[in-house]
Amino acid sequence: MQQLSAQQRYATLEVMGTRLWVPRVSLVGAAASQTCDWPTPEKKTSARERLLQQQALPTKQEQTAAIQPPVQAAPIPLAGQPPLTEVNPVSQAIQPLYADIWLLANGWQLVMENLTGQPGLQEVEIKLLQNLLVALYPGGLGISGQQFFSWPLPGVPIEAGNEGELNMTLQAFLTGARFQGVQLAGCLVFGERLQDLMSKAGSALRIFPAPALVELQQNSAAKQAFWQQAGSSGLRAAFASSPLVL
């Protein structure tokens, strides 16, 4: 495995949202380093102080009276409108994301959302991508590597609606250690959800949008529209002019 330089390690940690560490103590025989002045732990409250604090707090009845909201009548929907319903907070949680990533021999990445949650594409999807690569790169183009992205990460708790963490995790995966040593030329992203996530994260990669694979399979008009868009956006020219790097 290729060893990362100090600058590459710091850059990788920064992308993942990890702050640089500092030493707590000086080890015997270790190189000299700056010792961090850690804050003094807070003093624990004694039993007597806790009792005095509890006596100073209002009673449960007083607390209930202070926070009890005034009684309001339920809103009555207007004629012809459906009844009002409450929004379920659970429905606002970010859904899991799975994606297959292909690294091509010309330094391009194909990023495709996987709706099954299992690594690998269907045979019809693979054939579709092979035909697309032949059209974009007539000289022939091989696949250098295949990766599978899964979020949330096992054992890592997340907050409902934490889209920022998903964005950072996806960016770190696409530019992380598994692709070190490769000069990425561009990224072809299939599907609106992945495109929205990568555009919000401000990726440094050259991103070109494409319809979802299932849409390209079922809708011939979508294929024609995408091919025309690939020409006007510069995708075809950029893809065909990228030299083989792997």
Angle between helices 6-15 and 163-174 (to 10 degrees): 150
How far is it, in rounded angstroms, from Cα 245 to Cα 104?
9
List the chain domain ranges.
Answer: 93-241
In terms of average pLDDT, the best of 115-119, 181-185, 238-242 is: 238-242
pLDDT digits (tens, 9 = 90+) for 206-229: 899 999 999 999 999 999 999 999
Please list the alpha-helical segments (H only) found in the chain.
6-15, 47-56, 60-67, 123-136, 163-174, 192-200, 213-218, 220-232, 235-241
Average pLDDT value over all residues in the chain: 79
197, 119 in Cβ contact below 8 A?
Answer: no
Highest-confidence range of 93-97, 189-193, 198-202, by mean pLDDT? 189-193
pTM: 0.60
Helices (H) and strands (E) in the chain, counts: 9, 5
Q: Is 147 strand, coil or helix?
A: strand
Instruction: Give the span between the Cα atoms of 11 and 179, in whole angstroms.
Output: 14
Q: Summarize pLDDT for 27-64 with one digit per residue, the tens.
A: 666 677 666 666 776 777 777 777 777 767 665 556 56
Question: Is the pLDDT assigned to residue 89 strictly greater than 60?
Answer: no
Q: Packing angle between helix 163-174 and helix 192-200, nearest 10 degrees?
A: 90
Model pLDDT, residue 180: 67
CA distance 141 to 134: 7
Assign 12 a pLDDT band (cuts: 50, 70, 90).
confident
